[in-house]
């Protein structure tokens, strides 16, 4: 199989972890006889500095023409600390999702046995946690009508039936592939938009009789994720709730540097770590590359290359078991490994497998 990959390294630690993801993808393609080519493009603060646009048209064309996008992170303190800034790196991320029609964000939440002690939750709560958060990406308050002046502001949480139906379809289909349990998260006791979500979910549920479908208010879901994360199998929700809940779910594993994600929809899918750009660590060779590497596993799996994805996951597990880890997850007294060293250890494991 031939792969044409758009690589968007972005800001902060993005370029450092991006290299490791590309190296792993190249090693797997070589091992399995796939041809792969890469085209690099700018985004985020880097693109603002260079061309004044966080997702320039040229970058969009590179993404549109690719089979998949391997994305890293955007964000920079000089924009975070300036509330008057008219252009921000994160606008590039929203533009990419909108222009590529990426309406479904898929975030697996899982734990690693050797890292359960790193979770802020008790081991007996998290040891069996394994669920997927599916977040709607292109609707809701992030894209609805907005207004702000000195005295008032509003964001409109706007959804249409087709938008809700297509993301719920993704949720039901993932549930069918897993343990056949779907939780629809909303705030139907307060929000009209949530009541439409629940109504449509109830209409669709009979089409998936094998799936146990339950409904949960977002505040209850947030508590349940902490009290009993193993309860969930597949969770589906709207954009704003999903943004919050997926970040909450990410800490269950013990480090945001461990979890990948995929954004899929109408055009080219995007695969990326769930974490941000961590600008304070830029150039220090301490960022954990595992989420970026596991996003490559998700990329292969998306294209039904299951053996390739499984090999990457096996290599990541082996690196953790051998204590080849970046500082934030290293055991006390363990050897020092940086971003490059962890990435290259995994590449060598793949080559020898």
**Known binding positions for substrate:** 97, 107, 135, 219
Q: Work out the angle at residue 25's Cα, subtended by the Cα atoms of residues 57 and 95, and round it to the nearest 5 degrees.
A: 25
In angstroms, the CA 43 to CA 48 distance is 8
How long is the chain? 353
Q: Is 219 a catalytic residue?
A: yes
In angstroms, the CA 351 to CA 290 distance is 17
Q: Is 23 a catalytic residue?
A: no
* Active-site entry in 40, 217, 247, 302: 247
314-327 b/e with 16+ CB inside 10 Å = b?
ebbeebbeeebbbe
* Active-site entry in 23, 46, 142, 174: 142
In angstroms, the CA 221 to CA 201 distance is 17
* Active-site entry in 243, 282, 314, 340: 243
In angstroms, the CA 298 to CA 220 distance is 30
Question: What CA–CA distances, in Å, run from 339 to 23, 26, 69, 165, 292?
Answer: 12, 17, 21, 41, 11
Residues in the annotated binding site for Mg(2+):
219, 243, 247
* Active-site entry in 219, 321, 336, 351: 219
Residues in the annotated binding site:
97, 107, 135, 219, 243, 247
Question: What CA–CA distances, in Å, run from 333 to 320, 328, 329?
Answer: 15, 13, 12
Helices (H), the chain: 14-32, 44-51, 57-65, 77-80, 89-100, 123-126, 161-177, 192-204, 218-227, 239-250, 290-302, 306-321, 339-352
In angstroms, the CA 252 to CA 4 distance is 34
Q: Is 67 a catalytic residue?
A: no
Return the closest-CA partner of residue 75 out of 277, 280, 282.
Answer: 277
* Active-site entry in 23, 187, 337, 349: 187
Active site residues: 142, 187, 219, 243, 247
């Amino acid at each position: 199989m031939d792969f044409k990959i758009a690589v968007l390294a972005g800001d902060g630690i993005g370029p450092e972890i991006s290299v490791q993801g590309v190296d792993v993808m190249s090693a797997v393609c070589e091992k399995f006889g796939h041809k792969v080519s890469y085209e690099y493009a700018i985004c985020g603060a880097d693109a603002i500095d260079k061309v004044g646009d966080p997702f320039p048209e040229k970058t969009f064309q590179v993404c549109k023409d690719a089979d998949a996008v391997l994305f890293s992170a955007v964000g920079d303190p000089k924009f975070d600390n300036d509330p008057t800034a008219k252009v921000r790196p994160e606008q590039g991320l929203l533009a990419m999702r909108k222009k590529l029609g990426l309406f479904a964000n898929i975030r697996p939440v899982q734990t690693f046995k050797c890292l359960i002690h790193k979770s802020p939750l008790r081991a007996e709560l998290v040891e069996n946690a394994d669920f997927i958060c599916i977040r709607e990406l292109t609707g809701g308050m992030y894209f609805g009508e907005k207004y702000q002046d000195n005295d008032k502001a509003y964001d409109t949480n706007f959804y249409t039936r087709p938008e809700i139906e297509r993301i719920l379809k993704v949720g039901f289909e993932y549930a069918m592939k897993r343990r056949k349990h779907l939780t629809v998260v909303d705030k139907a006791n307060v929000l009209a938009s949530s009541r439409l979500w629940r109504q449509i979910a109830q209409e669709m549920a009979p089409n998936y009789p094998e799936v146990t479908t339950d409904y949960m208010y977002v505040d209850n879901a947030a508590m349940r994720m902490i009290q009993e994360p193993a309860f969930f199998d597949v969770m589906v929700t709207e954009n704003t709730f999903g943004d919050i809940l997926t970040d909450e779910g990410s800490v269950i594993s013990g480090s945001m540097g461990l979890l990948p994600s995929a954004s899929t929809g109408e055009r080219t899918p995007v695969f990326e770590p769930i974490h941000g750009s961590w600008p304070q660590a830029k150039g220090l060779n301490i960022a954990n590359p595992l989420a970026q590497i596991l996003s490559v596993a998700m990329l292969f799996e998306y294209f039904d290359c299951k053996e390739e994805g499984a090999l990457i996951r096996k290599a990541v597990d082996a690196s953790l078991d051998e204590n080849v880890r970046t500082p934030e997850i290293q055991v006390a007294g363990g050897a020092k490994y940086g971003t490059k060293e962890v990435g290259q250890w995994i590449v060598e494991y793949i080559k020898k497998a």
